[in-house]
Structure 1
Amino acid sequence: MDATDGATSQIEPRVAKLYVTGGARKEDAVPCTVALTPPPRAARGRESEHLFALVDLTGPASPHLYRELGAVVAQTYWSTAGSITAALRQAAAAANRHLFRTNLDCAPSDRCDGGLICAVV
């Protein structure tokens, strides 16, 4: 497309999951990624953004905990007004609080820790 023709194109992200352990692809990987478009009632200024998050936990993390953390990140990000950085910080802090509270209710051997990677396009 010629940049001078005045037309704009819409970029739609495509996301796929690939989980490899020991050089072999694992089909039964724990769901740990989210790629989301804004909900109908996103905070002002977030209507055209796409949120991508990768939650990577160690320990006996359940698929349910991954889904909960993904939902916490998404809900907090989309409801936070302000800059992208501020919204991502709020989302990461909310996920951290959720994991902390979950760990408080578990035996020490059942606790999880991990990381969160987020990107907004």
Structure 2
Amino acid sequence: MSQGTAKRVAPTSLVVASRQRRLISGDRLFRAIAYVAAALIIVVAVIFVIALFIPALPAIMKFGLGFFVSRTWDPVRAQFGALPAIYGTLVTSAIALVIAFPIGMGAALFLAADARMSLLRGP
């Protein structure tokens, strides 16, 4: 082949191919980092459960699982129940959600719709 008949590759196609390879390798790297982060979250959660369960084991052995459903709190007779505290926690959390959810949704809707329109219109 002579030099004049050789097919030349446009430099832009080489740049595009190189960029695609970088994007694919970047995607693979991001996917690997995301999987490691997800696995790390699970490992940390398991460690938390173990770290809470091991010190609580003597109390569970002494008072039993009835501790969670009993209402009695009598330190003199060593009878303890956590049901009122658990119930109070659940009720206050529900009240907080009832108050916070509409406020949060209203703020989100305002920012997504009304605020954007007022910003587009200008002052």
Q: Same fold (TM over 0.5)?
A: no
Question: Which protein has the larger Cα radius of gyration, Structure 1 or Structure 2?
Answer: 2
- TM category (shorter chain) comes to under 0.3
Name the one with the larger helix percent: 2
Higher RCO structure (Cα 8 Å, ≥6 apart): 1
